[in-house]
Amino acid sequence: MSHAKRFFSDNTASICAEILEAIAAANGGHEVAYGEDPWTGRLDEVLGEFFGTELRAFPLATGTAANALALATLTPPYGAIYCHPEAHIAVDECSAPGFFTGGAQLALVGGEHAKLTAEALAATLEGQTVSVHSVQPAAVSISQATEFGTAYRPAEVAALCEVAHEHGLHVHMDGARFANAVAYLGCHPGDVTWRAGVDVLSFGATKNGAMAAEAVVFFHLGLVRDFELRRKRAGHLLSKSRFVAAQLLAYVESGVWRRNALRANALAQSIGEAAGSRLLHPVQANEVFVALGAAGKASLRAAGFEFYDWGSPASGAARLVASWDQDERHVAALCAALAAI
Amino acid sequence: MSHAKRFFSDNTASICAEILEAIAAANGGHEVAYGEDPWTGRLDEVLGEFFGTELRAFPLATGTAANALALATLTPPYGAIYCHPEAHIAVDECSAPGFFTGGAQLALVGGEHAKLTAEALAATLEGQTVSVHSVQPAAVSISQATEFGTAYRPAEVAALCEVAHEHGLHVHMDGARFANAVAYLGCHPGDVTWRAGVDVLSFGATKNGAMAAEAVVFFHLGLVRDFELRRKRAGHLLSKSRFVAAQLLAYVESGVWRRNALRANALAQSIGEAAGSRLLHPVQANEVFVALGAAGKASLRAAGFEFYDWGSPASGAARLVASWDQDERHVAALCAALAAI
Amino acid sequence: MSHAKRFFSDNTASICAEILEAIAAANGGHEVAYGEDPWTGRLDEVLGEFFGTELRAFPLATGTAANALALATLTPPYGAIYCHPEAHIAVDECSAPGFFTGGAQLALVGGEHAKLTAEALAATLEGQTVSVHSVQPAAVSISQATEFGTAYRPAEVAALCEVAHEHGLHVHMDGARFANAVAYLGCHPGDVTWRAGVDVLSFGATKNGAMAAEAVVFFHLGLVRDFELRRKRAGHLLSKSRFVAAQLLAYVESGVWRRNALRANALAQSIGEAAGSRLLHPVQANEVFVALGAAGKASLRAAGFEFYDWGSPASGAARLVASWDQDERHVAALCAALAAI
Amino acid sequence: MSHAKRFFSDNTASICAEILEAIAAANGGHEVAYGEDPWTGRLDEVLGEFFGTELRAFPLATGTAANALALATLTPPYGAIYCHPEAHIAVDECSAPGFFTGGAQLALVGGEHAKLTAEALAATLEGQTVSVHSVQPAAVSISQATEFGTAYRPAEVAALCEVAHEHGLHVHMDGARFANAVAYLGCHPGDVTWRAGVDVLSFGATKNGAMAAEAVVFFHLGLVRDFELRRKRAGHLLSKSRFVAAQLLAYVESGVWRRNALRANALAQSIGEAAGSRLLHPVQANEVFVALGAAGKASLRAAGFEFYDWGSPASGAARLVASWDQDERHVAALCAALAAI
């Protein structure tokens, strides 16, 4: 199985050695459960140093849980969450935000390359009437990197947060591929989060080398509120919390977050270059979207490459994702195949 | 107060004599509560004759309850409800569909004059990928008359229902102004509902002369399912149900549904004609949308006319609604004032 | 039908003349909808005078809605609501509290004659461990009069509220038969509510002569919070709000609340006396619970009396409710029949 | 830390070698995510052989998620779930059943040693009136082993299931300590589940040597319904599902489920024997409940033993849990200390 040329998604990837070792190292002895262990106890401090600010961090096993719990903490049941139509929370989470909030609605705001703009957000917020009859604006959620593999620059995040905060909304960032975005931008992790005004981050490690490790990171400490009760009742408080915390600590402290992201990004760049004018979005993380046409897709698949159609099968578009552990020879072969189409 | 020239909405209107008399006539003696009374007991038959088919009808006090309960019966908590961005359920019900369904999401499909088209619905449904990760398409909701005072012709409803049913979706119609639409179309009530494929109707009487009386009408009897349990737990099973049922019976049996609607429609037509080229949507019910500009709105208001801005105050658009009991002299004065702008 | 000897429930009763006239008197002219009318506008003041304190009052059409909306305002989705196993919210509302709160649980605390005691409540609250794993104690709900037709004296309410407040819980009172309790106690309406520490009251008029009129009354103004948004999204904001408010105003201002309650109570007293040693609970409102046995129930029914079994049919217990408009001859006949068993 | 004498809970325990090796063995190569991998693909077959019947099994990371998702699949939002007052779902899951079902209520049925009896269940079900006003009986949930460390014999489970099924209820078993119960009973895993009538099982491995691995096992295949959609929207579909599935496969195939459970049970037996007449419940799994009194608890703690109070601190009761990897010397020391009290 390991020989398949899989470009489906970075969640097909394996666990990197440093993180698997950290799990094994945390094994031994009896530790108090439900987050009262020393590994979980270090998370706030270690992630605080990583981001350069005081914060609260809560480990979780999935990104959907991180997003939905974060949003439910920010949004009342009658709230509106503004996001891009391509956002993972809108497209790929089976109404988890509606479930966790108790009925809140997503309000979609378009934008090129899956990015919200401050201008479009402001126009939407200012063009609507809010009364007891309407859904109440509550939160904005942006993805970093986006679902189209693009990254928000610090100034773009700051402009969005300024509009949101002016209108009394809190800002959530879905960082399932946060490391890829930061590695691309070359900035400090704080620059595209709390320094730009982000209130809460879903900080993902699973796609970038962990087994199952995400964290909800509150930069705005006043928003933590009843998060821990919501997590527990959603079945997302892990009893052996140390093993998730250990993954996150290793991810950050060993530097594999950047090393893995840089490698995946670089491989995606080379795929993007091979795609040339067929490229649909700039490559700013580890995802490449290519207009291949039905024939192009068929020829790649005939050559053993595995990937998802993007949009309807008829659209002719494909998504090619480079994982942190992608085989270089497979990437080289893919580039050659793309160039040949 | 009764002398104000109010064109805010038809829910500012009074109760028509026939319906108030029916309430009084139902008063006297002890009747078994919670719908086990003879008035409620006649609803299925009387509305069945009205629509020309076998049906189940459940009385309710508000239109939002009718819509949300109907949709919750059709849609699982992870479902998607397709509707127009201007739909009452999207704009004016404070996320009631999300609440009653337990988290379902509205999926907005645009269309001129607040009308969905079969083409746009088909394109939306066919352009999306459904999997365990996505919200599950469940229902289509259309409004008759629409929020812009336009009406779907029977063939338009039929085309929409055909697309919906082909994709396994049920069709709900928000008929808060159903009488106005039918009076305008001149068709049989069955022609734009069950004969065209509508599964469930929110049948409104409140705006057209009742005190507080709506019914959820199931044409597709297999969809009634757990409606009665959902109604009860939402606090919408009225103990003295006879007084709501009596309103609905009088509304249909006395013919006031049509008389009131025809009068309101005719007054709206004259307002629409006075508005001339400023008219924003065809007048096909009792609502008139006019591009007045800030100065035009100010001059009308200075002359004592009361109405809502439509969209943001800056848009210059106004909504003028003619109620079933609107004073003809007020309408004449409004027409003169509009012509003078 | 009006000649049936119905002792099923006080919600089989008719509308009293003063309230029906008030509905008619409010009819005429165009009034701004959704509570912006003068009748609704007077509610806070008129009920404030009735209770002798500043308060906020919100009209509703059903008691289940009043209870569930009040509790949802007091209780988070992971909260516990302490109530008696016989409480209407526990037995007769099809999980409305669970629906409106988003998942809160009822915690049942027993007590004689359907009354909670301060001692039992304290023992329950002190005997449990609260942590992130447990449901979070949030509210206490008591019924006045209770489901067994008994009434809490002011000192009993005060003792319960003291225990609740000491533990950080808010107190809700289900007053579907509030007038019957106050008429029995002979106290001021404030004595068993805000003066005793009640935070929020479901103030019922429907059973005691209204058509469909209840109010949620907040004595603790800081708890109103998002009540209006929750009411709207539950479909319980009536567009023609004036007609519910007019009922409540007439109910309080005309004094029918007391007149009707006193009459119903007196009739119940005479039934209770006729029941003699078969009486199961003291008669302190308008409900009488009697151990009739299967034969006793059968003989009453054979004589044309209509009433509900209480508990399982096998229990032999019956509930006999005297309505405000109960025919005295029927009551006399019932008393004679009871005495003859 | 590893030298602490911790008897808090079996979720303080470590991962057993076989399971950690299985995680490492599953690491390597790219595998399709979200359960489309070969490890997850084998679960139905491997657990099917283990239980001796056709079944569907879904891996999850926590027991609360397993319980709540199973119950939400069996119970409508207006349903009642019958369980013991000591059940984990009632006491330790922060209203997760209310959240996942959308408002269902727990109905508590008492019984000695935390066990429901068929008689008590039948009496409860037969003594209540079900109508549109009441919560609708939907499911029974029992725990095997129970929260008091006792085990249901096959005949007891069968009697309970028979009562439940006769009343149209489905049966869920919370098997967080399923292996301990089966090891104690010495029966086949099928004997206390599907052969006795259990419809759905939460099959736990975490407490007995896994890192984070539970499965919802459907024996009644018709009840799977929309389980997968509910799991996804609850954020409980793990992307790298292979690593949870690999734990479960190793747990069952290597036999560690029984080996670990037998060892923990044996240690608990010795503790129970040392407790002598202070024992509060029979020791039938790996939990021991002892009436120690304040002084007894203090002396144990002074000697370095860590454990939870049971009930309020004033109760004098303690819970002592033996984990699969408990140090024998610590157990011997505990037994000596208990004997000396």
Q: Spell out which residues of chain D touch residue B232, defining contact as CB-CB under 8 Å.
A: 78, 132-133
Residues 102-131 of chain B with CB under 8 A from chain D are 102-103
Average pLDDT over residues D145-156: 98
Gap between the Cα atoms of D68 and D66, Å rounded: 6
Predicted pLDDT of residue D253: 98
Query: Which chain A residue is nearest to residue B106, measuring alpha carbons?
Result: A105
Given an 8 Å threshold on Cβ–Cβ distance, is A102 in contact with B104?
A: no
| Residue C337 · residue C305 · CB < 8 Å | yes
Closest residue to B132, CB basis, from D76, D77, D229: D229
∠ Cα A78 A82 A87 (to 5°) = 120
What secondary structure letter does DSSP report for B339? H
Please identify among residues 293-312 of chain B the ones whose CB lies closer than 8 Å to any CB of chain C.
none
Strand partners, B200: B172, B218
Q: Do D229 and A6 touch (CB under 8 A)?
A: no
Minimal Cα–Cα distance from D84 to chain C, Å? 13
Strand ranges in D180-331 using DSSP code E only, listed in sequence order: 200-204, 214-218, 287-291, 305-306, 308-310, 317-321
Is pLDDT at A109 greater than 80 in this prediction? yes
Q: Is the pLDDT of residue D139 over 90?
A: yes
- Measured in angstroms, the CA of B217 and the nearest CA of chain D are apart by 19
ipTM over 0.85: yes
**What are the sequence ranges of the domains in chain A?**
5-12+256-340, 17-253
Which residues from chain B sit within 8 angstroms of residue A103, using beta carbons? 95, 97-99, 101-103
CATH architecture classification, B5-12+257-340: Alpha-Beta Complex (3.90)
Residue among C320, C311, C316, C262 at smallest CA distance from C289: C320
Give, in order, the Cα–Cα distances in Å from B177 to each of A5, B11, B159, B258, D21. Answer: 58, 11, 21, 11, 67
pLDDT reading at B1 higher than 60: no
Q: What value does the mean pLDDT take over residues B213-237?
A: 98
Please check whether the two domains, A5-12+256-340 and A17-253, share a CATH topology.
no
- Give me the amino acid identity at A182: V
A contacts of C136 (beta carbons < 8 Å): 229
Between chains, do C9 and B33 touch, taking CB under 8 Å as contact? yes
The minimal CB distance from D99 to the residues A98, A207, A234 is found for A234
Instruction: Give pLDDT, residue C3.
Output: 62
pLDDT for position B312:
76
Which residues 195-214 in chain A show a CB within 8 A of chain D? 206-207, 211-212
Residue D269, both tokens? 């037996």
At D153 the pLDDT is 98
Question: Chains near B, with 3+ CB pairs < 8 A?
Answer: A, C, D
For residues C242 and C166, give the distance between their C-alpha atoms in angstroms, rounded to a whole number. 39
**Cis peptide leading into residue A213 (ω within 30°):** no
Question: What share of chain A in percent tops pLDDT 90?
Answer: 96
Which letter does DSSP use for residue C35 in this model?
T
Rounded Cα distance, B73 and B82, in Å: 15
pLDDT for A3? 62
- pLDDT value at D85 more than 90: yes
CB contact under 8 A, B133 and D34: yes
Strand, helix or coil for residue D93: coil
Flag if D236 and A233 touch (Cβ within 8 Å): no
Q: Which residue of A has its CA nearest to C100?
A: A102
Contacts of A228 in chain C (CB under 8 A): 132
Instruction: Determine the angle formed by the axes of helices D242-253 and D38-51, rounding to 10 degrees.
Output: 30
Residue C2 buriedness (CB in 10 A; 0-12 / 13-18 / 19+): exposed
Provide the token pair at D241: 């599902």
Mean pLDDT computed over every residue of chain D: 96
The string of pLDDT tens digits covering residues A7-22 is: 999 999 999 999 999 9
More confident call, A2 vs D69: D69
CB atoms under 10 Å from CB of B328, counted, come to: 11
**String of DSSP letters for A270-314:** HHHHHHGGGB-S---SSEEEEE-HHHHHHHHHHTTEE-EEESSGG
Q: Which two structure tokens, joined as six digits, stand for B210? A: 């009742």
Contacts of B137 in chain A (CB under 8 A): none
pLDDT surpassing 60 at residue A1: no
B77 touches chain A (CB under 8 A): yes
- Domain over A5-12+256-340 is classified CATH 1.10.287.1080: no
Q: What is the C-alpha separation between A188 and A195, in angstroms, rounded? A: 10
Q: Which residues contact A87 (CB under 8 A, 6 or more apart)?
A: A106, A114, A141, A142, A143, A147, A174
Quick one: which of A87, A86, A9 has its CA closest to A320?
A9
Looking at residue D124, the DSSP 8-state letter turns out to be: H
Q: Buried (b) or exposed (e) across C259-287, using 16+ Cβ within 10 A?
A: bbbbbbbebbbbbbebbeebbbbebbbbb
Q: Look at residue C150 and give its three-state secondary structure.
A: coil
Contact D14 A3 (CB under 8 A): no
Size of interface A-D (CB pairs under 8 A): 179
Q: Which residue of B has its CA nearest to A91?
A: B134
CA distance A36 to A40: 7
pLDDT tens figures, B114-131:
999 999 999 999 999 999
One-letter amino acid at B323 equals S
Q: CATH fold of D17-253, please?
A: Aspartate Aminotransferase; domain 2 (3.40.640)
Angstrom distance (rounded) from CA A1 to CA D36: 13
| pLDDT at residue B3, rounded to an integer | 62
- The reply to whether residue B234 touches residue C237, judged by beta carbons under 8 angstroms, is no
- The average pLDDT across B10-26 equals 97
Closest CA to A149 of A64, A207, A217: A207
Chain B residues whose beta carbon lies within 8 Å of the beta carbon of residue A132 = 94
Mean pLDDT of A139-148: 98
pLDDT digits (tens, 9 = 90+) for A239-260: 999 999 999 999 999 999 999 9
**Which of A2, A23, A29 is the closest to D2 by Cβ?**
A29
- Residue C30 has a CB neighbour count (10 Å cut-off) of 26
Residue D232 with chain B: CB contacts under 8 Å = 78, 132-133
Distance in angstroms (rounded) separating the CA atoms of residues A33 and B267? 71
Q: Which residue has the tokens 């003792």?
A: C159
Residue D1: is its pLDDT beyond 60? no
Say if the Cβ atoms of D237 and A96 lie within 8 Å: no
Full pLDDT tens readout for chain C, 341 residues = 346 899 999 999 999 999 999 999 999 889 999 999 999 999 999 999 999 999 999 999 999 999 999 999 999 999 999 999 999 999 999 999 999 999 999 999 999 999 999 999 999 999 999 999 999 999 999 999 999 999 999 999 999 999 999 999 999 999 999 999 999 999 999 999 999 999 999 999 999 999 999 999 999 999 999 999 999 999 999 999 999 999 999 999 999 999 999 999 999 999 999 999 999 999 999 999 999 999 999 999 999 999 999 987 778 999 999 999 999 999 999 999 999 98
Sheet holding A287-291, edge to edge: A287-291, A317-321, A308-310
Residues 6+ apart with CB under 8 A from C134: C128, D91, D92, D94
User: Which pLDDT belongs to residue C1?
Assistant: 38
Nearest Cβ partner for C229 among A136, A228, A229: A136
Contact A120, A91 (CB under 8 A): no
Q: Is the CB of residue D123 less than 8 Å from the CB of residue D64? A: no
Report the alpha-carbon distance of residue B169 to residue B159 in Å, rounded. Answer: 13
Give whole-number Cα distances, C115 to C141, C149, C181, C287, in Å. 11, 10, 13, 15
pLDDT, residue D157, reads 98
Q: Do A98 and B98 touch (CB under 8 A)?
A: yes
**Mean of all residue pLDDT scores within chain A:** 96
Residue D60 has pLDDT above 80, yes or no: yes
D12 contacts in chain A (CB < 8 Å): 30-33
- What digits encode the pLDDT tens for the residues A272-304? 999 999 999 999 999 999 999 999 999 999 999
Judged by phi (left if over 0) then psi (alpha if -120 to 50, else beta), residue D236 lies in: alpha
**What phi-psi label fits residue D293: left (phi over 0), alpha (psi between -120 and 50 degrees) or beta?**
left
> C132 vs A226: CB contact, 8 Å cut-off?
no
Spatial CB neighbours of C45, under 8 Å, sequence gap ≥ 6: none
Nearest to C95 among D103, D126, D127 (CB): D103
Local structure of residue A135 (DSSP, 8 states): P
CB contact under 8 A, A133 and C76: no
| Residues of chain A neighbouring B95 (CB-CB closer than 8 A) | 77-80, 103-105, 135
Place of tokens 């396994």: B168
Q: Tokens in use for B2? A: 């009764």
Fold of C5-12+258-340: Aspartate Aminotransferase, domain 1 (3.90.1150)
pTM of the model as a whole: 0.97
Q: Which of the other chains make 3 or more beta carbon contacts under 8 angstroms with chain D?
A: A, B, C
Give the span between the Cα atoms of A84 and A113, in whole angstroms.
10
> What is the residue type of A327?
D
Question: Which residues 212-251 in chain B show a CB within 8 A of chain D?
Answer: 226, 228-230, 232-233, 237
Which B residues in the span 2-21 are in contact with C, Cβ-Cβ below 8 Å? Answer: 2-4, 6, 8-9, 11-15, 20
- Concatenating the DSSP letter of every residue in A240-261 gives TTHHHHHHHHHHHHSSHHHHHH
Residues 132-161 of D with CB under 8 A from B: 132-133, 136
B108/A95 Cβ within 8 A: no
CA distance A290 to A307: 11
Closest CA to A216 of A225, B27, A208: A225
Round to whole Å and give the CA distance between A56 and A71: 16
Q: Are A273 and A256 in contact (CB under 8 A)?
A: no
Tell me if residue A75 falls in helix, strand or coil: coil
- Chain B residues in contact with C67 by the CB 8 A cut-off are 235
Quote the CA–CA distance of A38 and A26 in Å, as a whole number: 10
CA–CA distance, D246 with D202 (Å, rounded to integer):
17
Q: Please, which residues bridge with residue A79 across strands?
A: A136
Amino acid identity, position A242: R
Shortest CA distance from C32: residue in chain B? B12
Q: Does residue D4 have a pLDDT over 90?
A: no
In the numeric block, the tokens 């408009």 are attached to C325
